[in-house]
Structure 1
Amino acid sequence: MSDTQVAALRRRGFTIQESEQLSSGKRVVRLGVPRGLALEKARQQVDALGTGISADLNHYYRPALHAEHDAAKPCSGALCGAADMVGWDKAGYSCGPSPRVGIIDTALDLDAKDLAGRRIEVLQPAGQKRGSSPGHGTTIASLLGTLLPDARFIAIDGFTAGEDGQDRTDALSLAKAIDRLTSHGVDVINLSLSGPPNRLVQEAVTSAVERGVIIVAAAGNDGAKAPPSYPAAYADVLAVTAVDAEKNLYRRASTGDYIDLAAPGVGIFGESKAEGPSQGTSLATPFVAAAAAVLKASNPGTTPRNAGARLKAGAFDLGPVGYDEFYGWGLVQTAGLCADPGLIASQGAPSSSASAGKLPALEGPTTLEQAGVASATAAEVSPAAGQK
Structure 2
Amino acid sequence: MRLRYLLIAGLLAIAIRPAMAQVGLPPVRLPALDSITETIGNTLDDAGAETVRTARDMLRIREIRRAKLMRDHPGQIERDANGDLARAGELFLLDAAPAEIDAARQAGFTVIGHEQIEGLAVDLVRLGIPENLSLKEAEMALGRLLPDTTVSVDTLHFPAGDAGKRVPTTGSSSSARSVRTPVGIIDGAPGRHARPSAMRGFARGAPQPSHHGSAIVSLLDYAGVQDIRVADVYGTDPAGGNAMAIAKALGWLTQTGTKVIAISLVGPRNALLERAIASAQKHGVIIVAAVGNDGPAAPPAYPASYRGVLAVTAVDGRNRALIEAGKADHLDYAAPGADLRVRNADGKATRVRGTSFAVPLVAARAAAHRGEISQIITHLDEEADDLGERGPDRVYGRGLVCGRCRP
Q: TM-score, normalised by structure 2?
A: 0.67
Q: Distance in 2 between matches of 1:190 and 1:214?
A: 9
Please tell me the residue identity of whatever aligns with 2:248: K
Q: Distance in 1 between matches of 2:240 and 2:294?
A: 16
Gaps of 5+ in 1: 84-89, 336-388
Is 1:102 the counterpart of 2:178 in the alignment?
A: no
Q: Deviations over 1:239-277 (max 9, x none)?
A: 111111111111211135512100111011225664777
Match of residue 133 from structure 2:
36
Q: Does the 8 Å contact 2:116/2:122 carry over to 1?
A: yes
Q: Distance in 2 between matches of 1:59 and 1:31?
A: 15
Aligned-partner SS, 2:157: strand
Match of residue 261 from structure 1:
333
Match of residue 256 from structure 2:
184
Given the alignment, which residue of 184, 187, 212 partners 2:284? 212
Is 1:288 the counterpart of 2:362 in the alignment?
A: yes
Q: Which has the higher helix share?
A: 2
From the superposition, tell whether residues 47 and 239 of structure 1 become closer, same or farther in structure 2 (CA, over 3 Å): farther
Gaps of 5+ in 2: 1-95
% identity of equivalent residues = 36
Match of residue 123 from structure 1:
200
Is 1:152 the counterpart of 2:227 in the alignment?
A: yes
Q: Distance in 2 between matches of 1:153 and 1:68?
A: 23
Q: TM-score, normalised by structure 1?
A: 0.70
Match of residue 106 from structure 2:
11
Which residues in structure 2 correspond to 1:1-388 (within 5 Å)? Answer: 1=96, 3-22=98-117, 23-34=119-130, 35-36=132-133, 38-45=137-144, 47-48=146-147, 53-66=149-162, 69=165, 78=172, 90-93=175-178, 98-109=180-191, 111-112=192-193, 115=194, 118-125=195-202, 128-130=204-206, 133-149=209-225, 151-161=226-236, 168-255=240-327, 258-270=330-342, 274=348, 278-295=352-369, 299=370, 302-333=371-402
Match of residue 6 from structure 2:
none
Aligned-partner SS, 1:267: strand
Please tell me the residue identity of whatever aligns with 1:157: D
Q: How far did residue 334 of structure 1 move?
A: 8.4
Aligned-partner SS, 1:309: helix
Q: Deviations over 1:80-107 (max 9, x none)?
A: xxx8xxxxxx33236xxx2111111112
Q: Distance in 2 between matches of 1:246 and 1:7?
A: 59
Aligned length: 303
Q: How far did residue 56 of structure 1 move?
A: 1.6
Q: How far did residue 214 of structure 1 move?
A: 0.4
Q: Distance in 1 between matches of 2:280 and 2:322?
A: 30
| Structure possessing the higher relative contact order (Cα contacts under 8 Å, 6 or more residues apart) | 1
Q: How far did residue 8 of structure 1 move?
A: 2.7
- Out of 152-161 and 198-207, give the one that drifted further: 152-161
Q: How far did residue 28 of structure 1 move?
A: 2.4
Aligned-partner SS, 2:302: coil
